[in-house]
Amino acid sequence: MTQDELFKVLVAHCKEYGFIFPSSEIYDGLAAVYDYGQMGVQLKNNIKNYWWEAMTRLNENIVGIDSAIFMHPRIWEASGHVGAFNDPLIDNKDSKKRYRADVLIEDYLGKIEEKIEKEVAKGRKKFGDSFDEAQFRATNPNVLREKAKWDEVHNRYVAAEKANDFAEYRQIIIDCNIVCPISGTCNWTEVRQFNLMFSTSMGSTADGANLIYLRPETAQGIFVNYLNVQKTGRMKIPFGIAQIGKAFRNEIVARQFIFRMREFEQMEMQFFIKPGTELDWFKKWKETRMKWHVNLGMGAENYRFHDHEKLAHYANAATDIEFNFPFGFKELEGIHSRTNFDLGNHQKFSGKKIEYFDPEENTSYTPYVIETSIGVDRMVLAVLAHSYTVEPLENGEERVVMRIPAPLAPIKVAVMPLVKKDGLPELAQKVVDELKYDFSYQYDEKDSIGKRYRRQDAIGTPFCVTVDHDSLNDGCVTVRERDTMKQERVKIEDLRDMIEKKVSLTNLLRNL
Ligand code: ATP
């Protein structure tokens, strides 16, 4: 299966098993908006809990808030979003399809990178143990040719980005013969700027309604509450404020399922520090956040840092944590050193003094900020894409199993009586009563045991517990583990501890 096909199958699976539905589906959907179903919401909540507890419980100096989506419109002037939250858009005149000019160029560069990696893989296969990768990359003519092409386009792209030179974006697209995937032509319009903020009005028109925005990030709700939290929480620098909430962006192109949506959720943490210490803290937060990801067991090789070459004018360091999605390595989380840009601007625009008095040094300053910002939905997609596995079985059939990290699984345990009679359902209900206070569960008595196992595999349930006739006499049940399909007899009273060991969020946090 190609990566594209795999992605389509995954989207269909998510719908079939109640993870994610297109929004307003019976009205033919709403572009780039999705709803979470009965399984999806639990997976999403588990991810949010893992992040929230890791931030606010494991760090004494980080507290959480929940600020409103509507905010004073001046906030978005102060933050720079009214003036500069733009994407460069370009239209293909033949297909009438719209694209982000920067994404077209980045995808083109990505394809060259793929070609290089394919060459290297070929070399590795050909030379076996004696393969010297560094030498191969430095001398193979195909690699060198592609690398030279990549360097040339990349240098032009970085220069155009720095200079905000949109005519050059278009020229790069034309020179590289980047065509529209729909029409296959290179017939492009000029590149234009497009502001991504949604707006609406507050108050009746008679009162003189105010234009307000749906927040495009949750971070500003943290900055404007900096003084409130610092004072009421008696927080001492360094300290952080964390928040999870919805954000809205009128994305130009939104074609990758929940990777890029118009309504999405962010988990953001702003860490307030003394000016001059930011690069140390930046390094520390890079490590901390990478550890949080790798701790889930989805393979360290599937993550990488991508340091920004072009920094926003207020930032002095920025990196992305990229994940190996089915469509390549793409941004999952951003970590930014934002200096005192936001607090400084809110001070200017609001006229309120936003400073921290440092009692040890007897001085006041506007704190600097390190931000960590991750999209909940992108994290859900990372988990789903990584977990989806099709596996051959001994009997020649296949099973689809979602190898979701057990603490994140929507359902932790399924309880099933072998047959619907002989007192087995009653005993199974007793097992449910044992477990339901600690774990999300499903009770299932329909169809053959094999079919029931398949259903649980498809939603990623780590354990299936079967009650059979022997259970009535020996008080034991058969526990089947999702990944290995191994079965073992376990005493009913030992079930709780056994399941807890594997699915516990606490244990996951302990490993951080
Ligand atoms: P991109 O370059 O992919 O547009 P960004 O750099 O604009 O992302 P940030 O503003 O840094 O993203 O937002 C922080 C995080 O929020 C991102 O790492 C991503 O996980 C998430 N995010 C941003 N935009 C979207 C979106 N439209 N849909 C889903 N998640 C998003």
Query: What is the model's pLDDT at position 283?
Result: 97
| Candidate from 104, 260, 322 with most ligand 1 atoms within 8 A of CB, to mutate | 260
* Residue minimizing CA distance to atom 6 of ligand 1: 334
CA of 401 from ligand 1 middle (Å) equals 29
> Within a domain: residue 114?
yes
Report which ligand 1 atom has the smallest distance to the Cα of 260: 28
CA of 321 from ligand 1 middle (Å) equals 11
> Within a domain: residue 491?
yes
| Candidate from 104, 264, 332 with most ligand 1 atoms within 8 A of CB, to mutate | 264
> Within a domain: residue 37?
yes
| Candidate from 87, 215, 266 with most ligand 1 atoms within 8 A of CB, to mutate | 266
Is the domain of 221 the same as that of 366? yes
Structure tokens at 285: 């937060």
Report which ligand 1 atom has the smallest distance to the Cα of 251: 27
Structure tokens at 95: 């297909």
pTM over 0.75: yes
As a whole number of angstroms, the distance between CA 426 and CA 392 comes to 35
CATH of the domain at 293: 3.30.930.10
β-sheet with 476-481: strand ranges across: 441-443, 413-417, 463-467, 476-481, 487-491
Structure tokens at 424: 């087995």
CA of 231 from ligand 1 middle (Å) equals 31
| Whether 321 contacts 332, CB under 8 Å | yes
Domain boundary among 363, 394, 425: 394
| Candidate from 378, 379, 380 with most ligand 1 atoms within 8 A of CB, to mutate | 378
Is the domain of 41 the same as that of 181? no
Query: What is the model's pLDDT at position 7?
Result: 87
> Within a domain: residue 80?
no
Is the domain of 240 the same as that of 384? yes
* Residue minimizing CA distance to atom 31 of ligand 1: 375
Structural domains of the chain, count: 3
Is the domain of 98 the same as that of 129? yes
CA of 85 from ligand 1 middle (Å) equals 12
Is the domain of 259 the same as that of 332? yes
Task: Determine if residue 37 is left, alpha or beta; phi over 0 gives left, psi from -120 to 50 gives alpha, anything else beta.
Answer: beta
CA of 69 from ligand 1 middle (Å) equals 17
Report which ligand 1 atom has the smallest distance to the Cα of 261: 28
Q: What are the per-10-residue average pLDDT scores of the chain (512 residues)? A: 84 97 94 96 98 97 98 93 86 92 92 93 91 93 95 93 88 95 94 90 71 95 98 96 97 84 97 96 98 98 90 86 93 96 96 94 95 98 96 92 98 97 96 97 95 97 97 96 96 96 96 95
| Domain, as residue range, for 306 | 1-68+217-394
CA of 146 from ligand 1 middle (Å) equals 30
389: Cβ contacts below 8 Å, ≥ 6 apart:
400, 401, 402, 403
| Candidate from 36, 105, 197, 373 with most ligand 1 atoms within 8 A of CB, to mutate | 373
Is the domain of 109 the same as that of 233? no
Is the domain of 267 the same as that of 381? yes
Q: What is the dihedral of CA 83, 210, 217, 34, to 10 degrees?
A: -120
Is the domain of 164 the same as that of 312? no
CA of 86 from ligand 1 middle (Å) equals 13
| Candidate from 331, 333, 371 with most ligand 1 atoms within 8 A of CB, to mutate | 331
As a whole number of angstroms, the distance between CA 453 and CA 399 comes to 10
> Within a domain: residue 251?
yes
Query: What is the model's pLDDT at position 84?
Result: 77
Q: Which residues line ligand 1 (CB under 6 A)?
A: 217, 249, 251, 260-261, 264, 266, 331-334, 373-375, 377-378
* Residue minimizing CA distance to atom 28 of ligand 1: 260
> Within a domain: residue 260?
yes
| Whether 266 contacts 218, CB under 8 Å | yes
CATH of the domain at 500: 3.40.50.800
Report which ligand 1 atom has the smallest distance to the Cα of 336: 11
CA of 130 from ligand 1 middle (Å) equals 42
CA of 104 from ligand 1 middle (Å) equals 17
CATH of the domain at 112: 3.30.40.230
CA of 433 from ligand 1 middle (Å) equals 42
CA of 375 from ligand 1 middle (Å) equals 6
As a whole number of angstroms, the distance between CA 49 and CA 65 comes to 14
> Within a domain: residue 201?
no
CA of 377 from ligand 1 middle (Å) equals 10
Give me Rg for the CA atoms of the chain. Answer: 26
* Residue minimizing CA distance to atom 20 of ligand 1: 375
* Residue minimizing CA distance to atom 19 of ligand 1: 375
Is the domain of 258 the same as that of 370? yes
Is the domain of 90 the same as that of 221? no
> Within a domain: residue 399?
no
Is the domain of 131 the same as that of 22? no
Is the domain of 44 the same as that of 119? no
CA of 332 from ligand 1 middle (Å) equals 8
Task: Determine if residue 277 is left, alpha or beta; phi over 0 gives left, psi from -120 to 50 gives alpha, anything else beta.
Answer: alpha
